[in-house]
Amino acid sequence: MDATSIWKKVYPWLRNKYILTIAIFVLWMLLFDSSNWVDVYREHKRIKKLEQDKEYYMEKIKNDRNRLEELQTNNENLEKFAREQYLMKKADEDIFIVSPD
Mind spelling out the 3-state secondary structure of 49-96? HHHHHHHHHHHHHHHHHHHHHHHHHCHHHHHHHHHHHHCCCCCCCCCC
Q: Residue 9 above 80 pLDDT?
A: no
pTM assigned to the model: 0.53
Query: How many separate helices (H) and strands (E) can be counted in the chain?
Result: 4, 0
Q: Read off the pLDDT of residues 26-46 as tens digits, 9 standing for 90 and up.
A: 888 887 777 788 888 899 999
Q: Tell me: the pLDDT tens digits for 56-87?
A: 999 999 999 998 998 888 888 888 888 888 87
CA 17 to CA 67: how far, in whole Å? 69
